[in-house]
Structure formats: C-alpha cells, structure tokens
A = this chain, B = another copy of it.
Amino acid sequence: MSRRAAILELAVLGLLHDSPLHGYELRKRLNASLGAFRAFSYGSLYPCLKEMLTRGWIAHDGGGSASKRSRIVYRLTAEGKERLQDLLADSDPSAWEDENFGARFVFFAKTDAAVRLRILEGRRSRLEERLASVRASLARTRERLDSYTLALAQHGLESVEREVRWLNELIATERQSTTIVGQSQLRDEAAGPSPSLT
C-alpha cells in the first residue's frame, strides 16, 4: 500500500490538471517545474501512476480496442481534482518545509485565494521560527566558531530573511486582491496577482 509521497502525487495531479500527459513527458515536466528542489526517476513515477490509477485519481483511455500502444496518456478524474484541492489545502506541519512549500507554490494558480494565503502565512511563520532558533544558537556559540562556519551561518540567515521579505510582498498582494475582488476571484486564476519582484 505504501502511503505515497504526497509531493509526487501532488505534482502529478497538478500537471495533469492542465492537460493529459503520458509518463515520460510527465517526468520531464515534473523535473522542470520542481527542478530546483526535487527530482524524480521513472522508478518512483511509474509505480505512483499505477497506484493513483487504482485509487481513481487518474484514468487512461483503455476504451479503444487495439489502439496505439506504447504511450499511455493519463488524465485527471473528478475525484483527482478534489484530491488535488485536498492536498493543496492540507496544513500538516510538514507542508511548510522547503520542498513541500515549493510544490504547493508551483500549483498556486490551481487553488483559491484563502488556501494560498494560508500557505504563504504558514511558510512565513515556519521561516521565522527557523530564524529565531538559528539566531539563538548563533548567539550561544558565536565565540567558538571559525570564520567559515560563521560565514555559512550568516549567508544562510540572509537567504531566509530574503525569503521572508518576498513572502511579505506576496501576502500583501494577495490580501489586496482578496479585499477588492472578494470571494469570486477563483475565476481569474490563470493571471494571478503579479507581485513586484525586484
């Protein structure tokens, strides 16, 4: 049974939400979208597709008699769409970690403003916890550290601070859109709020 890695399942559902795809192509897009934080091999993708098929999240045209074999094109079912929303909305504490947040963010345009806001805020508070704990541990051990370890810690801190500022901008933009447009903006998904990115 093997409780499938949420991240791979999420990514497959997200990609198939746009258009039907076969495994080989799916894997290329997977590693293009998630490329920065994660890569998957066929050895994990194909078994995952198999299981998602039995669960009913996805389907393929097995209808035709002796149709062209080779490519097996999967598409999302209605249950699969629901499942995608559930996965995106799920706020298990691990959802704020680097990889899981990244995977959710990639498919942001496929969910609604309330969920987006919750994810962004969850991520931000996760990063702020991390900042606090790193700063504390740095204050405790600063004297004992060589300059390389210090330089790494410093660079790490600044990266996290940068991400927090980025999240602040995104959150501000989301709130504006929500306030002005109200609930019914679930329709203008494809465009998104276009936050400033300088």
Residues of A within 8 A of B (CB): 32-33, 35-36, 102, 105-106, 108-109, 134, 137, 141, 146-149, 151-156, 159, 162-163, 166, 170, 189-195, 197
Contacts and interface: CB of A to CB of B under 8 A. Distances in A.
Interface of A is mostly: helix
A194 B159 contact: no
B170 A106 contact: no
Given A109-B146, A147-B192, A148-B109, A166 B162 contact: no
Given A154-B197, A159-B159, A166-B155, A147 B32 contact: no
19 contacts: A33-B149, A35-B134, A36-B134, A36-B153, A36-B156, A102-B152, A105-B148, A105-B152, A106-B149, A108-B149, A109-B146, A109-B149, A146-B190, A146-B191, A151-B170, A151-B195, A155-B163, A159-B159, A159-B162
Number of copies: 2
Contact of A148 (B32, B35, B192): B192
Name the residue among A152, A163, A191 with the largest chain B CB count within 10 angstroms: A152
